[in-house]
Structures are given as structure tokens and as C-alpha cells.
Structure 1
Amino acid sequence: MNSKNISKGGLTIGDIASRTGLAPSAIRFYEDKGLLTPFRNAGGQRRYDRADIRRLSFVMITQGLGFSIADIQAALATLPEGRTPTKRDWQRLSSAFRRDLDTRITQMQSLRDRLDGCIGCGCLSLKACKLYNPQDRARTKGQGPRYLLGDSASEITPP
């Protein structure tokens, strides 16, 4: 990336692509989704701020973690317009993602630890289910894999 590009009024899509590793078509896709807003220079060419590199990096990371474009768009919409987001802005934005990630981590650990045993789903096909979920007691807490959803066998009363 050439520092002259910044002084001439922003970065080209090629500069952004080179810096992020994204194809220009992907950058235009994210632009179409409202995740970044380039400006036009005096010649009418699309230009990007340096802060757009961070935006796109954030998009790539959060998408890789399974967040939807809509979730990412809503989060990025909370960043200030007209100025480069500060560290505090990014910390505020990331706190909601942190809470969601903490929940996902807890769920994944539970899945890892319980998937080979009874998960309270009502199938009663494993010998362990006869011990932990006799007569499908877990159904009293609702549908689905109750133990993976946070219920414990000791909290479930017989029907």
C-alpha cells in the first residue's frame, strides 16, 4: 500500500484488497451489504478510509465465528459516522460479541462433554439414558436436548 494513496484522498479497492487479502468482488459485496461506505474522489473513483481495513478485518473474523451479515451490519452501524472509530468505540462494539462468544463457548464445552452420553433428547436409545433420563423425564422441561440446553438431570422431576 502506497502512502501517496492516502494523501491523494483515500485508498483504492486494490489497496484494500492487498491489505485484507479479500478479492475486490468480496469488498464490493460487503459494500453492497452496508458494512462499509467508500467515498468518491474528485474523479468519481471509489476510495476507502484506512479504518475500512479494520472494519473488513472485523467482518472476516466475526463471519468466521458464525455471525450473520445482519448481526455484523447491526454492530458496525453503532460505530460513529464522520470519524475514525476509536479504541473505545471498538471495545464497546466487541463487548456484545464477547458475551455471545462466552455463551457459545459454554455451549460447545457442554456439547463436547455430553455428546457421547445422554443429552436429554427423548430418544432413550443409549443405556445411559435409562440412568439419566428414565421414562424421558427431561421432556418436562421442554423440547430438545434438555441437558445440552442447560438443564441437569438432578433438576428434572419425574412426569
Structure 2
Amino acid sequence: MLHGHDLLAIGDLARRTGLSVSAIRFYEGKGLIRSLRTAGGQRRFLRSDIRRLSFLLIAQQLGLTLPEIAGELARLPHGRTPTAADWRVISTRLRRTIDARIAALERTRDALDGCIGCGCLSLRKCRLYNPDDRAARGGAGPRFAMAGHEPG
């Protein structure tokens, strides 16, 4: 059973998280947090939403997309503050995601070092060149510089 002290007005949530009221409404609209409504129609948020929004801000700084963040938040219990064990499960999953992104960034950095420094000025010799669009099945964009695709 919720008590009045368990709920926060949107302005209080904004002050506690450093987010603007409009940002909180945006995240609510995306389903990342949920509000309850008073008899007068005012939004009230659970205290646990402070941690959810804090996690969201950190996850965005780590480069996670809103759908990725939503997937992680959906795994957390609604209506109670997540426990250390809840966060540990998410942390383990995020660690794998972050490690994969670090590896992709390192591959991209290494490819760009060779490309920028080679001075070849020739698409025929360029390590990132994609003759006959051989990388097309991998998707749009500079495939050899993304996600571990190797020129060949």
C-alpha cells in the first residue's frame, strides 16, 4: 500500500534527478517510467523512479539507446526500489554490451589510423574501400569501418 510520502510530484522528481519536467514527461511518454494520477489529475511518481531515471541518464552516457534502456528497465520490478541483486543482473548484461562496443570502437580506431595516415588518395588501394559493393549484405553505411566488418 502506498503512502503519500512514497509518491513525488513531477517537480520534486525533477529536482531530485536534475532532469527538466519536460524530460520526465518525455520519458514517461516513452514508457520508461509511469506516473499515478491524483483525483485532480496531477502526476505522482514512485520514489523508485529516482533510481530508474538515474540509471537512464547513466545508460545514455554509456551510449545505450532508449529501446535498450527500456528493455533493461522492463526487467526491474515496478513499485519497489530495485535491490543490489536487481542491479547486478543488469550490470552483468550491460558489461557485455559495453565490452562489445569498446571492441568495435577499437577496431574502428585502428582502421581509421591506417586510413587517415596512409595518404593513398586512391579508392583502389584504400583499406575501407568497398569495390562492387561487396559489403552490401551487411547493411547501409561504411561497413568496413563498423562492427568488425573486414575488407576483403
Work out which of the residue numbers 2, 24, 27 in structure 2 matches 1:27. Answer: 24
Q: 1:152 to 1:47 in 2, by over 3 A?
A: closer
Q: 1:126 to 1:91 in 2, by over 3 A?
A: same
Aligned identity (percent) is: 50
Aligned to 1:75: 72
Q: 1:58 to 1:115 in 2, by over 3 A?
A: same
- Note if contact 2:36-2:43 (Cα within 8 Å) is conserved in structure 1: yes
Work out which of the residue numbers 55, 70, 80 in structure 2 matches 1:58. Answer: 55
- Note if contact 1:118-1:126 (Cα within 8 Å) is conserved in structure 2: no
Counterpart Cα distance in 1 of 2:14 and 2:150: 49
Size of the aligned set, in residue pairs, is: 143
- Alignment map for 1:4-153 (pairs within 5 Å): 8-41=5-38, 44-118=41-115, 125=122, 129=126, 145-146=143-144, 149-150=147-148
What amino acid is the match of 1:48? F
Larger CA Rg, structure 1 vs 2: 1
- Note if contact 2:143-2:149 (Cα within 8 Å) is conserved in structure 1: no
Deviation for aligned residue 1:65: 3.0
- Note if contact 1:118-1:128 (Cα within 8 Å) is conserved in structure 2: no
Counterpart Cα distance in 2 of 1:39 and 1:59: 20
Uncovered stretches (5+) of structure 2, i.e. residues with no partner: none
Q: With the length of structure 1 as denominator, give the TM-score of the two structures.
A: 0.69
Counterpart Cα distance in 2 of 1:28 and 1:100: 28
- Note if contact 2:10-2:43 (Cα within 8 Å) is conserved in structure 1: yes
CA RMSD of aligned residues (A): 3.6
4+ aligned runs moved over 6 Å, structure 1: none
What amino acid is the match of 1:52? D
Deviation for aligned residue 1:44: 4.8
Shifted more, 110-119 versus 51-60: the winner is: 110-119
Cα deviation 1:47-76 (Å, max 9, x = unaligned) = 222211111111122223332222211211
What amino acid is the match of 1:98? R
SS of the residue corresponding to residue 34 of structure 1 reads coil
Deviation for aligned residue 1:28: 1.0
Q: With the length of structure 2 as denominator, give the TM-score of the two structures.
A: 0.71
